[in-house]
């Protein structure tokens, strides 16, 4: 079987780096990009922090108020609201460069992708390293962003490798070096191993991948169930046969907002929903896309999630159709709603490109 050559490309502190690119004077300052929640200056969470802010213990997911406390001594710390449209624009340009250098391109998110370059480099890892450097240079020259690239025979090891020398890293793991690369690393570098599993391994006195390799498949299956046990057994040995699959961005478009007050009142929620529908519709038109599936999403006052969706008979670009169906979903969802809603979202998926002139009437 031919050895595959797979890249995992990951942008370093992506949102904050986009902001530094837009305003170069931010580069020396701690920069935090925040998801503000419309409930006062400190309400919300950190989406991304640059490396200067990270030195003070600021990381994604922590409340903005915690981040401000940790950065108290830095009077020059900057807290900016997320600007997803801008980040998506930058991401698209970078993805185009990656796509042009790959045999198979798999979009994962705004700041990461997998590339299969096996044919392009003839299975040669040295050539792959030169190609990766070329991609890094192009992205730096044309878009002014740095990224980290992991190269190996599969997606799993490449993902671990891309994180190995951040920021601006390039790590090549050839087939004969997989064990040597993985064994000294902490167990939590394995994608999919969360905090609870990691804590369980600590209780078992297992710290590194080398330690974990001592457990046989039966012990792992007994502890974590067959599916997870098998995954962990293969992962610690760097075994992953999942192919890089052709996948483009924009599988769905969505907008979500934090409401001015928690509520389960139809009229209030409906007004907010209509505004969200208009915003999503603008994105659809801008990207020349039709949709077939509509969904709504609640984050309830206890922070649990609820969602509801429906499929239309055919693709459309109609804003009226979007509003009508979203409002119908809202009515149905509220029938047995006991808890108030804190955040409300709408999404469209099953997208396809608008073809030709005949669809222009459905824009209005």
CB burial string 159-175: b at 16+ within 10 A, e below: bbbbbeeeeebbbbbbe
| Residues spanned by the domain of 79 | 15-84
Phi, psi of 168 (to 5 degrees): 60, 40
Residue 144 maps to a domain: no
* CATH code of the domain covering residue 280: 3.30.1490.100
Q: Is 271 left (phi over 0), alpha (psi -120 to 50) or beta?
A: alpha
3-state secondary structure of 350: coil
**pTM beyond 0.85, yes or no:** no
Instruction: Identify the CATH number of the domain in which residue 51 sits.
Output: 3.40.1170.60
Q: What are 70-110's pLDDT values in tens digits?
A: 999 999 999 998 887 788 889 889 999 999 999 999 988 88
Which ranges in 204-251 belong to alpha helices (H)? 209-212, 217-224, 226-235
pLDDT at residue 362 in the model? 32
- Burial classification of residue 311, based on how many CB atoms lie within 10 Å of its CB (0-12 exposed, 13-18 middle, 19 or more buried): exposed
- SS3 at position 286: helix
159 close to 150: Cβ distance less than 8 angstroms: yes
Banded model confidence at residue 307, pLDDT cuts 50, 70, 90 = confident
Average pLDDT over residues 2-13: 93
Considering the domain architecture, whether residues 217 and 274 belong to the same structural domain is answered as: no
Binding residues for Mg(2+): 10, 111
Please state the φ and ψ torsions of residue 117, each to the nearest 5 degrees.
Answer: -120, 20
Let me know whether 285 and 217 are in one domain.
no
Strand pairing partners for 357?
none
Q: Do residue 307 and residue 334 come from a single domain?
A: yes
**Is the domain of 325 the same as that of 358?**
yes
207 burial level (CB within 10 Å; 0-12, 13-18, 19+)? middle
pLDDT cut 90: percent of the chain above it: 66
Condensed to tens digits (0 to 9), the pLDDT of residues 156-167 reads 999 999 999 989
- Tell me whether residue 115 is in a domain: no
Same domain for 273 and 337?
A: yes
Do 274 and 345 fall within a single domain? yes
Residues with catalytic annotation?
Answer: 112
Q: Check whether 43 has a pLDDT greater than 80.
A: no
What total of structural domains would you count in the chain? Answer: 3
Residues in binding site: 10, 111
What contacts 46, CB < 8 A, 6 or more positions away?
A: 32, 33, 34, 35, 58, 59, 60, 61, 62, 63, 64, 67
Residues 260, 220, single domain; the answer is: no
Matching residue, tokens 């930058």: 90
Nearest to 281 by CA among 332, 331, 321, 328: 321
Give the pLDDT confidence of 227-271 residue by residue, as tens digits. Answer: 989 999 999 999 999 999 987 555 678 899 989 999 999 999 999
pLDDT band at 293 (very low <50, low <70, confident <90, very high): confident
In the structure encoding, which two tokens stand for residue 339, read together? Answer: 């808890």
Same domain, 202 and 266: no
280 lies in a domain?
A: yes
Task: Mark whether 300 and 340 lie in a shared domain.
Answer: yes
Buried b (16+ CB within 10 A) or exposed e, 96-121: ebbeebbebbbbeebbbbbbbbbebb
Q: How far apart are CA 294 and CA 307, in angstroms?
A: 11
């Amino acid at each position: 079987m031919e050895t595959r050559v797979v890249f995992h490309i990951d942008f370093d502190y992506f949102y904050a780096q986009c902001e530094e690119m837009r305003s170069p004077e931010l580069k020396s300052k701690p920069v935090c990009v925040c998801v503000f929640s419309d409930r006062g200056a400190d309400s919300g969470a950190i989406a991304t922090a640059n490396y200067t802010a990270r030195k003070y213990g600021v990381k994604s997911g922590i409340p903005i108020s915690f981040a401000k406390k940790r950065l108290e001594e830095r009077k020059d710390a900057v807290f900016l609201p997320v600007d997803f449209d801008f980040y998506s624009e930058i991401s698209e340009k970078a993805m185009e460069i990656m796509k042009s250098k790959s045999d198979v391109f798999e979009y994962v998110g705004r700041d990461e992708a997998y590339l299969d370059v096996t044919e392009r480099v003839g299975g040669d890892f040295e050539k792959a390293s030169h190609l990766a450097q070329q991609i890094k240079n192009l992205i730096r020259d044309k878009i002014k962003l740095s990224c980290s690239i992991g190269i190996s025979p599969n997606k799993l090891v490449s993902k671990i490798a891309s994180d190995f020398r951040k920021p601006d890293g390039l790590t090549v793991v050839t087939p004969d070096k997989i064990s040597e690369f993985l064994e000294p690393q902490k167990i939590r570098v394995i994608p999919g191993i969360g905090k609870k599993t990691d804590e369980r391994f600590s209780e078992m006195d297992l710290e590194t991948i080398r330690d974990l390799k001592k457990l046989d498949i039966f012990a792992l299956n007994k502890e974590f169930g067959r599916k997870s046990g098998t995954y962990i057994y293969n992962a610690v040995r760097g075994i992953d046969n999942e192919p890089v699959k052709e996948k483009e961005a924009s599988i769905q478009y969505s907008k979500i907002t934090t409401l001015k007050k928690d509520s389960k009142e139809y009229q209030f929620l409906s007004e907010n929903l209509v505004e969200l529908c208009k915003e999503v519709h603008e994105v659809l038109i801008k990207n020349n896309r039709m949709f077939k599936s509509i969904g709504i999403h609640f984050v309830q006052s206890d922070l649990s999630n609820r969602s509801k969706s429906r499929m239309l008979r055919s693709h459309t670009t109609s804003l009226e159709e979007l509003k009508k169906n979203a409002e119908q979903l809202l009515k149905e969802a509220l029938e047995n709603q006991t808890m108030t809603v804190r955040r409300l979202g709408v999404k469209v998926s099953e997208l396809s490109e608008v073809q030709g002139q005949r669809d222009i009437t459905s824009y209005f």
